[in-house]
Chains A and B, each alone.
Chain A
Amino acid sequence: MLLKLIPDNTSIGFTRMRFVALVFSAILVVASLGALFTMGLNFGVDFKGGVTIEVADDEPIDVAAVRAAVSDLGLGSVDVQTIRDFADADEAVLIRISQQEADDDSDETAGETAQQAASIAVQDAMRTLLGDGVNFRKVEVVGPTVSGELVQKGALAVALAIGMMLIYIWLRFEWQFSLGAIIALVHDVIITLGMFAVTRLEFNLAIIAAILTIVGYSMNDTVVVYDRVRENLRKFKQKPLAELLDISINDTLTRTIMTSGTTMLALMALVIFGGEVLRGFTLAMIWGIVIGTYSSIFVASPFLLATGVKRDWSKAVPVGA
């Protein structure tokens, strides 16, 4: 007997739930925006500049002593946390130092030099504190120029990705589909950002990559449903749109859940065994896939009800169909 997570021939009235979904999504989006504006994102060195150093020692590290030693350097806000890696039993701490102000504003390079000086100061302090067993597992120093550029590039990449999806869906379907897909996409991105604002997980360049992947995945999910909607529009010319959308969502439901399931299995393996470096990245992806799956069923498709779609598809025969 083969495993079936979803029974065959479901006929769940998804479109009837659209008002509940609308309220639910609205709350999530508003809460996310609120969190973004009040708490902001916990930017990592990529976007904020500054220094991140991961230090390991051959004996247990006293986090409080590390914090005190680094704080004594007078480098502004310092964040020290223990890293518990599943991969090995070594103890390591992650020291984050916010971007250093330059002593001399007139010189463009002073800001860059200040970051380097802070990095060296921390490393020297750790050598003094921990002795010969000290091991700098990771040192990242990002100056103001590069961090500024990465912010721009990151924002541009997400905007560009959404824009390209908009155009692609427009070319392949109709503008109503395109708009519905984009609204679902923006919805997913905002809620993912909101999750990062609330959890205070570090937001870095890898998270932008995760968001772009979510954009691709969420789109993928939406396209599969839309593709079925289009097919059913040709098949059932007289059916009310709501009913037709329900049929399409139910037709593709097993696939939607199944694919989310396999992707989730792969991501779970990453989050459990993939180590500390990837954790934020995979958590973002897991969250995004849950939201993306939800949005393609409850946001993207019901949206077509609001705009209405062309019912006569006898002439338009898209490529590959």
Chain B
Amino acid sequence: MLQFSKFQTAGVALIVFLGALFAIPNLLSEDARNSLPGIMPKGTINLGLDLQGGSHLMLSVDTAKVIDDRMKALMGDVRRELRPNRAANRERISVESLSYNDDTHVITLLIADPADAEQAEERLRGLTRGGVGGALGLGIRAYSLNVDGQRFEVAMTPEAERYWSDEAVRDSIEVVRRRIDPAGNKEVLIAPQGVDRIVVQVPGDNDPEALKALINRTGQLSFHRMDPTVSFADAQAGLLPPGRMYVEFASLEGSGRPGLVLYEDAEVTGDMVVDASSAPDPDGGFQINFGFDNRGARRFADYTRNNIGSVFAIVLDNEIISAPTIQTAITQGQGRITGSFTAQEAFDTALLIRSGALPAELNTIEQRSVGAQLGQDSVEAGAKALIIGFLAVIIYMIISYGRFGVYADFALIANVILIAGVLSLLGSTLTLPGIAGIVLTIGMAVDANVLIFERIREEIFAGKAPIKAAETGYDKARSAIIDANITTFLAALIMFQLGAGPVRGFAITLAVGVVTSVFTAYVLTRLFAGGYLLSKRPKEIKL
């Protein structure tokens, strides 16, 4: 029991050595880490956002809206299919009612004449035949058609709904990434979570409000022709001809008018804009330069050539950001947006245009931001508690168990090194509760040694010789140590499942600490105690 073969001793030493090897990079500066030889591990424990400062945002993607948009577009198609079509030699099918239910996402069509049922079904089948996903769009059936006499129900299949929701989430992640990390060099985490959520974590001392402002905007850009015939009073009263809309200016400075009446149909849309950047405006302030793709350039050239002297509006997220008068035909595919932009506004707007529009609105449903100062305070407080708690336990063990207390303390030091090593190896994140987990592990890690030492004491009282007593002590304490640690490990496992950042950090350190402490307290101290007892063969031991 106390006898370790050379092989076993080497094994124990190797584990501690490896732990130290993986823990060392945490003590080095970044430069020193980078100059380590290639085979040395360089990974460090990441500090959680609560320790280094930063923002954690949980965003919900409005996937219902994406589905709605598709179903509404489909409803337009249904309406078109029912009209007469001479080219396809089709008659009109008269409609009793055609409606769309927002909640269930189902289009219900009721036709007037039962004789048309067959014809209607054929046309609807043609419309809903397509699929989504896969190389040729054959992967998933997109819509299901339910026929009941004169009643037709078109619904999106759950698979397609899932597909388009996933796509919206994926596309949103890409857009968000382009917005908050255009250069791709920041340590930001943008990841999908659950069905329709995105988690964004940005470390550092950034302004969370600016971050949210950047993310929560849809970034829908379009260029519209102005309709000068509608008076402002009519527009305010909501008296608009069909196909027109009243849009307000983003800021009231400049023209003095609160808004303009525009044609709903856009001349050019934001997806045809390929580049945008901010630059100083020769006339003062800042402007945004942008470029169109081929299609956009052609359309914009045609439009400006035919409308010299008229006003058009550049609309971003339902607000006019600029409404210039066309001076000349713009044929180069380049344009600029002027207005009274500040440097920051111009920069942000250019970024927004460049990154493209979000497929659906993103709502912030959870925000946790910690300033760098609080993070720094927490690191200092956590470190102080860790060191003081550690010293207190170490001293307490020595005055309680003497020589064996020293063994337990060595085990404790090895334990902290191993925890640091494992956390670095896993690349896990250390949070403030995580530090608390380590402190707690220190307090609880000695439990295994206390169990063993108390047991040895009992055996000595029962009249056993030191070596025999120690052997029995280690042996008898084992089942209690295993049971006791498994219960804590189980609790840590559940906590990990519970999720949210800081708590997860606590769960990880607790779980890792349980495993390493069993090793150091049970195996490492036995190596020390065995070495002492078997070499010195003391007549009695103090415990």
Contact = CB atoms under 8 A, between A and B. Distances in A.
Most buried by A among B212, B402, B457, B487: B487
Interface string A151-191: 00110010011001100100010000000000000000000
B503 A265 contact: no
A220 B486 CA distance: 8
Contact of A153 (B432, B443, B492, B499): B499
A251 interface: yes
Contact of A281 (B370, B400, B433): B433
A212 B439 contact: no
A143 B436 contact: no
A70 to B, nearest CB: 17
Interface stretch (B74-82, B259-267, B476-484): B476-484
Contact of A278 (B209, B397, B433, B454): B433
A275 B382 contact: yes
A213 B450 contact: no
A277 B50 contact: yes
A268 B447 CA distance: 17
A80 B486 CA distance: 42
Contacts of B497: 157
B491 A215 contact: yes
A139 B367 contact: yes
B283 interface: no
A135 B443 contact: no
Contacts of A261: 396
Interface stretch (B119-127, B343-351, B371-379): B371-379
A3 B367 CA distance: 50
A227 B440 contact: no
A78 to B, nearest CB: 19
Nearest to A46: B500
B491 A212 contact: yes
A307 interface: no
A270 B385 CA distance: 5
Interface residues of B, number: 83
Interface stretch (B106-114, B326-334, B386-394): B386-394
A264 interface: yes
Contacts of A219: 484, 487-488, 491
B461 interface: yes
Contact of A262 (B208, B367, B396): B396
Interface residues of A, number: 86
Interface string B396-409: 11011110000000
Contacts of A252: 454
Contact of A277 (B378, B442, B450, B454): B378
Nearest to B375: A137
B380 interface: yes
A20 interface: no
Contacts of A285: 440
B365 A206 contact: no
A160 B494 contact: yes
A112 B487 contact: no
| Chain B facing A: main interface SS | helix
B363 interface: yes
A224 B495 contact: no
Contacts of A130: none
Nearest to A289: B443
Contact of B491 (A113, A137, A146, A213): A213
Interface stretch (A24-32, A82-90, A192-200, A236-244): A82-90
B24 interface: no
Most buried by A among B393, B491, B495: B491
B490 interface: yes
B129 interface: no
B374 A263 contact: no
A2 B457 contact: no
Given A154-B498, A321-B479, A208 B543 contact: no
A2 B402 contact: yes
A266 B393 contact: yes
Interface stretch (A10-18, A97-105, A115-123, A298-306): A115-123
A262 B411 CA distance: 15
Contact of B389 (A46, A88, A266): A266
A220 B503 contact: no
A223 B483 contact: yes
A3 to B, nearest CB: 5
A161 B506 contact: no
B181 interface: no
Interface in A14-58: 46, 54, 56
A314 B144 CA distance: 67
A272 B396 CA distance: 18
B364 interface: yes
Closest 7 CB pairs of A and B: A266-B443, A269-B389, A275-B381, A216-B491, A263-B443, A216-B488, A219-B487
24 contacts: A112-B364, A119-B367, A137-B370, A137-B371, A138-B374, A142-B367, A143-B363, A143-B365, A153-B498, A157-B495, A216-B488, A223-B480, A224-B480, A255-B451, A264-B443, A265-B443, A266-B393, A266-B442, A267-B440, A269-B439, A270-B439, A273-B381, A273-B388, A277-B378
Given A112-B60, A165-B487, A263-B447, 17 more contacts: A88-B377, A109-B361, A157-B498, A168-B486, A205-B503, A206-B506, A212-B492, A212-B498, A220-B488, A259-B444, A266-B393, A270-B389, A270-B439, A275-B378, A278-B433, A285-B440, A320-B482
